[in-house]
Chains A and B, each alone.
Chain A
Amino acid sequence: MIVGWNLFAWFAVAAMVLSVVAAVAAWGDKRRVALACAVLGVLALATFVALFWTTLGRPPLRTMGETRLWYSLCLLVAGAFTYWRWRYRWILSFSTLLASVFIIINIARPEIHDQTLMPALQSGWFVPHVAVYMFSYALLGCATLMAIYGLFRKDRDLTQAIDRLMYGGVAFFTIGMLTGALWAKQAWGAYWSWDAKEAWAAATWALYLLAIHMRGRGRGFVAVVVVAFLALQMCWYGVNYLPSAEQSVHTYNQN
């Protein structure tokens, strides 16, 4: 079965519809319906990823379009998990909205690519490094939204959920960054070379560690979380637009 970007819209629309139904059901306190639809929405997008992977003959983790695809999937997973664990009625709406933005960008601007995988990316580190990063971005995205929401509503459970998401996100970010360092040694001979992407990853990591050391401290904490999330956007795709990234060894994910 050959599945490419031309079929993405069908799977994506199915995932979005199911996620919207899940979000509406969550607001209406129909927990089982919400959870079932959220899981089915995840499965719809996951099926596309699996078939697309098989068709490409390589993991779809190389281009910006492909990383957006994983980010949408991980956001839906993180939203469903958070709803299942902490029962926030609004979290499914947020995760659906955010995932939909990335899905719509991919539908409106499908980045068609060849099926090749350049030699530098042919490594056992490739899939764990990028997949772990995408999952951390999704968790940290949810944590940021909840931290901003927490400015307007004091809730002990909310603080606990933000802490959990933050710890999970930072843990996965750390693993992504360090698997990248080990891979860089195999590929280029240096664990860390302060390439533009690596420098922004270090800055993002430091800011999230700062957030963890300031957890539960009101507006200062939220400010650091928001700044860290902005740095994360620079690290993920913003860096590609900087002159400093022209010589970057990480430019294979640009289109």
Chain B
Amino acid sequence: MSNLAPKRTLWLVLAVSATLGVGAIVQAIVGAFPLSIVRFPLNVILMTLWLVLLVELYRRRDRSKVAQVLLSQAATVISLVLMAAVGIVLGLQREPASTAWPTVVAVLFVLSHLTLVTLRGWRNATGVRWRFVVNHAGLWLALVAGFWGAPDREQVRAMVTREVPTREAYDMSGRTTTLDCELQLVDFKIDYYAEGQPSMFEAVVAVDGESATLRVNHPHHRTWSEMIYLVSYDTESPDRARYCVVEVVREPWRWLSVVGIVMLIAGAVLMFARGPRKEGAR
């Protein structure tokens, strides 16, 4: 990668500003990103079209200016500056707008660049570049699952009582929804430290009649994509709790995230073990 000369830096600033600016204009015209509309199967269709377009661009990389720009080292710098800019902006917001258009446009640019770079660099003349593959493909998978999978993620809360089983839950906007399983509180235990703070609390909840124990850091895995978390309890009478609050999270793209994260961890281990490439190898 060449040195960042002033003219090049100016172009870099312009490119980053333009990307975020396009997102801001779209946000001003159409409002927030329509996350609920882009759910399965629309997100999978759009993702497939996007991937086909990128593969086609990659195939024409010798002729296509767009492909050459997206594959350039400047695009790597722009992608990483965009990621940092998005992180800083969201880190300063009280309610991070992670689905605002500028974020969406920035992540789409980063993912497009990452796709092309991964296609190009996964092997060299001597064979597969494993460290490159686990790091870049791992990041790609984690970002794809987080970006294209976000519309399919469901998170609802339910107040679970001892008296009657319930299917009623509320999403994060307060809208009522119906669970596809029945929940009822069976038992609740709480222990305290000598200072009076809770050291542990757990709820035994019947999920469709089957008993499940819920604790902080110990959710119940109901299906391959759905987990139930203990969020809160009857703080007025915790020793004889009448109810607890649980959160049901459905995340169909979850395992793609796991594979991406595990690959990235493997990549980090290889990064530490092998260290930087020698200058001559660049």
Contact = CB atoms under 8 A, between A and B. Distances in A.
A153 interface: no
B94 A231 contact: no
Interface in A148-191: 160, 163-164, 166-168, 170-172, 174-175, 178-179, 181-183, 185-191
Nearest to A169: B272
Nearest to B276: A163
Interface string B201-217: 10000000000000111
A200 to B, nearest CB: 4
B276 A191 contact: no
B76 interface: yes
Contacts of A210: 77, 80-81, 84
Contact of B88 (A185, A199, A247): A199
B216 A215 contact: no
A116 B199 contact: yes
A209 interface: yes
Interface residues of B, number: 56
Nearest to B8: A220
B271 A167 contact: yes
Interface in B186-231: 193, 195, 197-201, 215-219, 227, 229
B87 interface: yes
B155 interface: yes
Chain A at the B interface: SS class: helix
A174 B265 contact: yes
Contact of A216 (B96, B193, B279): B279
Given A203-B88, A206-B87, A234-B91, A118 B146 contact: no
Contacts of A166: 276
A195 interface: yes
Contacts of B179: none
B96 A191 contact: no
Contacts of B193: 114-116
Given A122-B216, A189-B247, A202-B86, A182 B261 contact: yes
Interface in B260-277: 261, 264-265, 267-269, 271-272, 275-276
B88 A170 contact: no
A239 interface: yes
B92 interface: yes
Nearest to A166: B276
Contacts of A115: 193
A125 B90 CA distance: 25
B112 interface: no
B36 interface: no
Nearest to A209: B80
A220 B3 contact: yes
B94 A189 contact: no
A204 B91 CA distance: 11
A204 B216 CA distance: 29
Nearest to B145: A191
Contacts of A116: 193, 195, 197, 199
Nearest to A203: B87
Interface in B137-159: 146, 153, 155
B281 interface: no
B91 A200 contact: yes
Nearest to B87: A203
A29 interface: no
Interface of A: 114-120, 122-123, 160, 163-164, 166-168, 170-172, 174-175, 178-179, 181-183, 185-192, 194-197, 199-207, 209-210, 213-218, 220, 231, 234, 239, 242-244, 246-247
Given A118-B197, A203-B86, 17 more contacts: A116-B193, A119-B199, A120-B217, A168-B272, A170-B271, A178-B261, A196-B91, A200-B91, A202-B83, A203-B87, A203-B88, A206-B80, A206-B83, A210-B84, A215-B276, A244-B96, A247-B94
